[in-house]
Chains A and B, each alone.
Chain A
Amino acid sequence: MIKVTDLHKSFGDVEVLKGISTNQIEPRDVVIIGQSGSGKTVFLKCLLGLFDYTKGSIDYDDQKFTKLSDDQKRNLRSKIGMVFQGSALFDSMTIAENVMFPLRMFANLSESEMQDRANIVLKRVNLDNAQNKMPSEASGGMQKRVAIARAIVNNPKYLFCDEPNSGLDPKTAIVIDNLIQEITKEYNMVTVINSHDMNSVMEIGEKIVFLKNGEKAWEGSNDSIFKTDNEAVSSFVYSSNLFKKVREMYLRD
């Protein structure tokens, strides 16, 4: 469970996050949406501890992140999987080595046990034939799937995805969305996804948090987003004619 209370983050004089609070985030998909520059990535990086926040608190299972010792933070981070926007695969390692990396660093497994575990997760993301490829030889969709495999290889409790669909064609984007959704249920994880891809949001956003100018402007589900009269959400979500029509049809039904 993750709980965020009154989170502030400034870079110099510029306040990027202006007091964001969320309800308890339980094991399921949560999608953070908002325009570019709304503070989504900064919010995610604060959740991950990559940025120190200025004020507020983030609780992981009722433990305040800032109060944790270095060892406790390290222990917590070993329960976190992260899929970066650009995949962030280690380009000097093969796909299999990338996936085995968290195991090599933290698990006390033999080489064959690590290989077996990597095979299982690579098979889960349909990449069991690409083990010996280098990341540069893989397509964008494959790289995203490798990143997902690497994120889940250690059986994490939390999965964070920063714009997992960016740069992917719509069909591959749906494959990645479905994969994240299935894996979240299989592993019973808390999955937090940053996205501004509305297809993805409607597909997997059981819970949606909308950020605008560093503030939480709205929180709800993919069903309630059709009914909301929140001005900020409407202008963002229904900026395309397609979604306007989808909303009209939904409300008509």
Chain B
Amino acid sequence: MSYLHNIGTYFLMIAEMFRKPTKRSVMKNLILKEVDDLVISSLGIVAFISFFVGGVITIQTALNITSPLIPKYLVGFATRQSIILEFAPTFISIIMAGKVGSFITSSIGSMRVTEQIDALEVMGVNSINYLVFPKMIALTLYPFVISIAMFLGIIGGMAACVYGGFSTLEDYITGIQLDFIPFHMVYAFIKTLVFAFILATIPSFHGYYMKGGALEVGKASTVAFVWTSVVIILLNYILTQMLLS
């Protein structure tokens, strides 16, 4: 029953987010701050992980191609497909659920514990709109982060491939250009936008409705990470089934 109650409360929170909007001039500044906190501050870790995971994907693919009949350029092809279809949109989103999600839950949860949310409500501010809406809008820039992850993943793969001696630069570039289907990018960005919405709202839900003190803020962050990851994985499957099959 509590799951159903939580799901219902989550959707009521989403509806409430669009009611009684905060003043435009205030909201503009909130959105810019969230872009900085959620998007810009994540670029470093996303770039680092993408570059090296791209390299690892390439090495593992190259090492598994043992047959001399398989052309070397397939290493680039497999790397591109793995990164664009799965690694960048999904794997990075799981990492972001840990980084951005726990930040959102703990910051909103701390506001709940210290009665700052009550203070907003007493003043007549729609606290859900004030706290959650700017995060959702800021994360519409999330596809930009994923584009960087795709680019650096492929560059990391290229570096590992060429400097590791698995194939030539020309073969790798041939591979990443081979049979490119533009719809795969559309699919990746549709997933990314859905995951961005999940990343903004599920951690916010767990922070906003948490009860207790500092210990519960920590617990709420952990629960938010688990549920954000679970929902991302489930939606990944559903969207893949709907868009690619």
Contact = CB atoms under 8 A, between A and B. Distances in A.
A245 to B, nearest CB: 37
B95 interface: no
Nearest to B19: A70
A77 B114 CA distance: 20
B20 interface: yes
Interface in A117-153: none
A82 B26 contact: no
Interface residue tally on B, bucketed by range? 10 to 19
A77 B115 contact: no
A77 B123 contact: yes
Contacts, number: 54
Nearest to B130: A105
A48 B124 CA distance: 10
B16 to A, nearest CB: 11
Contacts of B114: 86, 88, 91
Contacts of A105: 22-23, 26, 123-125
Interface string A75-106: 11110101011101111000000000110111
B92 to A, nearest CB: 27
B9 interface: no
A185 interface: no
B20 A70 contact: yes
Contact of A104 (B20, B23, B115, B118): B23
Contacts of A78: 123-124
A51 to B, nearest CB: 10
Interface string A51-86: 000000000000000000010011111101010111
A106 B124 contact: yes
B122 interface: yes
A50 B124 contact: no
B121 interface: yes
B26 A104 contact: yes
Contacts of B20: 70, 74
B116 interface: yes
A74 B121 contact: no
Nearest to A83: B119
A147 to B, nearest CB: 9
B119 A84 contact: yes
A85 B23 contact: no
B119 A88 contact: yes
A84 B123 contact: no
A50 B122 CA distance: 7
A1 B123 CA distance: 19
Contacts of A84: 115, 118-119
Given A70-B20, A104-B26, A105-B26, A77 B118 contact: no
Interface of B: 20, 22-23, 25-26, 114-116, 118-119, 121-125
Interface of A: 45, 48-50, 70, 73-78, 80, 82, 84-86, 88-91, 101-102, 104-106, 160
Given A78-B123, A104-B25, 10 more contacts: A49-B121, A73-B124, A77-B123, A78-B124, A82-B118, A82-B122, A84-B115, A86-B114, A88-B114, A88-B116
10 A-B pairs with least C-beta separation: A77-B124, A88-B115, A88-B119, A74-B124, A82-B122, A84-B115, A78-B124, A88-B116, A48-B122, A102-B123
